[in-house]
Structure 1
Amino acid sequence: MSKKLILIIDDDNRNIFALKAVLKAKGFECLSALSAQEGFSIMEENKNVTIVLMDMMMPDMDGYQAMAAMKKSEKMRDIPVLAVTAQAMVGDREQCLIAGAAGYVSKPINVDELLTQIEKLTK
């Protein structure tokens, strides 16, 4: 089976760096974008993205807006989005799922939970 290609969209380079380090150590290939718009460009150019890890709190376009835009795009609508958020308030998980996320992990990220979600969503 080919390696799963994960796109990380997060406006904080430190989060991208940490996620990439963990995921590469587990054998995943990663691409990253510092904004939703940049992430869309990557998905348009790269047909092999199997899942998107989406930071929900970004300037310009947040994760909710980005997921709504993805759902409208023929090329992006079938790519599962795993919402990644520091907002672990009651109802946040449900909001993310209602907005179109296929899964949800809160920061600080539990690596085992992250890997379980990725496996489940990329079968």
Structure 2
Amino acid sequence: MEGLKKKILIIDDDSRNIFALKAVLTAKKYTCLSALGAQEGFDIIKNTPDVGVVLLDMMMPDLDGYQAMAKMKEDEQLKDLPVIAVTAQAMLGDKERCLEAGAVGYISKPVNVEELVKLLNNYL
């Protein structure tokens, strides 16, 4: 592996999703951090300068993915961080909505690991 790899931050309100994603990505030699909500995720980003990409669950109770991306756009420190939307709601138009909201990529659950790795490698 070349040089310092940036970290992946997984923001998801379901710890089982975090556990599964972390296990898969760690096995592929990625370093993962996690948060159970958007605000906790923002705090981690502010205290961890080497977060390279955020995997953001779109369906969360407090602040959903769309609201979280809107908040990130308003924050100098967060606005340029690439966000990959992760959603179980793979409905027609969802991908477009996520991309319009500011996501750089979109992946539906259950996550296709090869597809996710391809997306991640564009930003890490």
Instruction: For residue 71 of structure 1, give the secondary structure of its aligned residue in structure 2.
Output: helix
**Matched residues in 2 for 1:44 and 1:105: separation?**
25
**Matched residues in 2 for 1:120 and 1:50: separation?**
10
Partner of 2:74 in structure 1? 72
Tell me how far 1:4 sits from its aligned partner. 2.4
Per mean C-alpha deviation after superposition, the further-off stretch among 45-54 and 113-122 is: 113-122
Structure 1 residue 84 and structure 2 residue 79: aligned?
no
Q: Point out where structure 2 has 5 or more consecutive residues left out of the alignment.
A: none
* Alignment counterpart, residue 28 of structure 1, candidates 21, 27, 30: 30
Structure 1 residue 37 and structure 2 residue 42: aligned?
no
Q: What TM-score does the superposition give when structure 1 sets the normalisation length?
A: 0.97
Moved over 6 A (4+): none
Partner of 1:19 in structure 2? 21
Aligned length: 122
Partner of 1:52 in structure 2? 54
Percentage of pairs with the same residue = 64
Q: What TM-score does the superposition give when structure 2 sets the normalisation length?
A: 0.96
Q: Point out where structure 1 has 5 or more consecutive residues left out of the alignment.
A: none
The CA RMSD over aligned residues, in Å, is 0.6
Provide, for residues 80-101 of structure 1, a one-character-per-residue CA deviation record: whole Å limited to 9, x for no partner: 0000000100000000000000
Tell me how far 1:121 sits from its aligned partner. 2.6
The code of the aligned residue for 2:111 comes to: I
Structure 1 residue 120 and structure 2 residue 119: aligned?
no
- Kept after mapping to 2: 8 A contact 1:5/1:50: yes
